[in-house]
Amino acid sequence: MNRKERRAAAHKELKLARKAGFPTPIPTPAPEPTVVALASETPKPVTPISDAQLNANRANARHSTGPKTETGRAISSQNRTAHGLARHNGTFVLLSTEDPDGFEALKASLVAEHQPSTETATILINSMAESHWLANRAQTLQNTCLDRKPAKLPTPRSSRSTSATKPPTPALSTNVSMTW
């Protein structure tokens, strides 16, 4: 008897039991899966270290305290920045290669154009300036990184005779229109 026939027979039995007035059997819950601890999850015993090792660790820790100057701290704060296309921890960050005066000029022109009179309007103007700046950053990244001509690859032997007659493949279009 295959699965379909077994299910049909079980359904028929339940239907007959309901007609006869017998209570339907309560399905039993599935057994809980057993959790097996992996060997890597067992706690490792803590072994004490010697005084010499402890002193060496402390001496090494004194050498690795991070950058000392404000310039070094500013540079190391960008270590986690992968691409700069999004806000960093919820805050907008200008990259070191970007012009801060240009961003301030953009904000000033938006403020002059929209003349925000409430705190909400000011927040929206700042958000608009940041979003526009990020969109331009993405467009610049696309134009500089993705719109390069690929290196000329050697032509396979089987298609050398037909490669001269094929038209060149068109490049990807980088014209993206942004509407606000």
Token pair in block for residue 3: 């699965």
Spatial neighbors of 18 by CB under 8 A, at least 6 apart, are: 24
CA dihedral 39, 43, 44, 49 (to 10 degrees): 170
pLDDT tens per residue, range 100-128: 999 999 999 999 999 999 999 999 999 99
Average pLDDT, the chain: 75
Q: Are 71 and 80 in contact (CB under 8 A)?
A: no
Q: Is residue 6 over pLDDT 50?
A: yes
Which pLDDT does position 176 carry in this prediction? 45
pLDDT tens, 45-89?
A: 778 888 999 899 888 888 877 888 888 887 777 676 666 666 666
Q: What is the model's pTM? A: 0.40
User: Could you give the CA distance from residue 96 to residue 74 in angstroms, rounded to a whole number?
Assistant: 9
Query: 26-48 pLDDT, tens per residue?
Result: 666 666 666 565 655 666 777 88
Distance of alpha carbon 67 from alpha carbon 76, whole angstroms: 8
3-state secondary structure of 155: coil
